Amino acid sequence: MDLQSERARLILTLRRNGILDQAVLTALEQTPRELFVPETFRRHAYDDSALPIGRGQTISQPFVVALMTEALKLDRRCKVLEVGTGSGYQAAVLSRLSRRVYTVERHKPLLREAESLFRHLDLHNIVTKYGDGATGWQEQAPFDRIIVTAAAMDVPPVLVDQLAVGGRIVVPVGDHDLPQVLLCGTKTEGGLELEEMGDVRFVPLLPGVEADRD
């Protein structure tokens, strides 16, 4: 399989489907998705679809990764919080567009694998934490951008509290068994201004951490 050609084909698909931010497209093109999926699914690494990564989790569809990343409107000054490291793919993309990424994961084995990939790819501006992402990362707040890669029942107030005024948060909202909607919010002095970005499907945002088992 010619992975470079497959990657280029995916970028063309994303562009046709409305992803227009060239910096975002370049970040995805520079991030080898095949490293973030289990070997069993490697031949599907550049399909525009979500794939299982174990522990009941998935690596998101590239279009959704691109859409959420584009909605954040990142620049090299941004300090970003990611809730749900998962495979590490989204964090790797974010790291190419921002100053620093703080990412929290509740499954320690997944976090270990992601950390190994970050080192392999020399992504030194990613800071990881094993913990309950639903509570954010208070010690590092405020954040310029927050991205949540699991579906909450509503925009978590604790995360909004950790967002700087003028900052942006992207979060899927809705029950796991029902259609979910992707929301993008901008924090103002008066509250959070929300915009709907379409239907999505994510695993649920769960509290606490999973027991450390291999």
Does residue 90 contact residue 157 with C-beta atoms inside 8 Å? no
Q: Tell me the pLDDT of the chain (214 aa) as tens digits.
A: 688 899 999 999 999 999 999 999 999 999 999 999 999 999 999 999 999 998 889 999 999 999 999 999 999 999 999 999 999 999 999 999 999 999 999 999 999 999 999 999 999 999 999 999 999 999 999 999 999 999 999 999 999 999 999 999 999 999 877 789 999 999 999 999 999 999 999 999 998 887 655 4
Task: Choose the catalytic residue: 49, 60, 95, 98.
Answer: 60
Burial annotation 120-155 (CB, 10 A radius, 16+ → b, else e): ebebeebebebbebbebbeeebebbbbbbbbbbeeb
What are the distances in angstroms from CA 69 to CA 11, 87, 170, 196? 14, 16, 9, 15
pLDDT in tens, 79-130: 999 999 999 999 999 999 999 999 999 999 999 999 999 999 999 999 999 9
Does pTM top 0.75 for this prediction? yes
pLDDT for 66 equals 98
pLDDT for 125 equals 98
95 counts as catalytic: no
Region of 88 please: left (phi>0), alpha (psi -120 to 50) or beta.
Answer: left
Phi/psi of residue 56, nearest 5 degrees:
70, 15
pLDDT for 211 equals 65
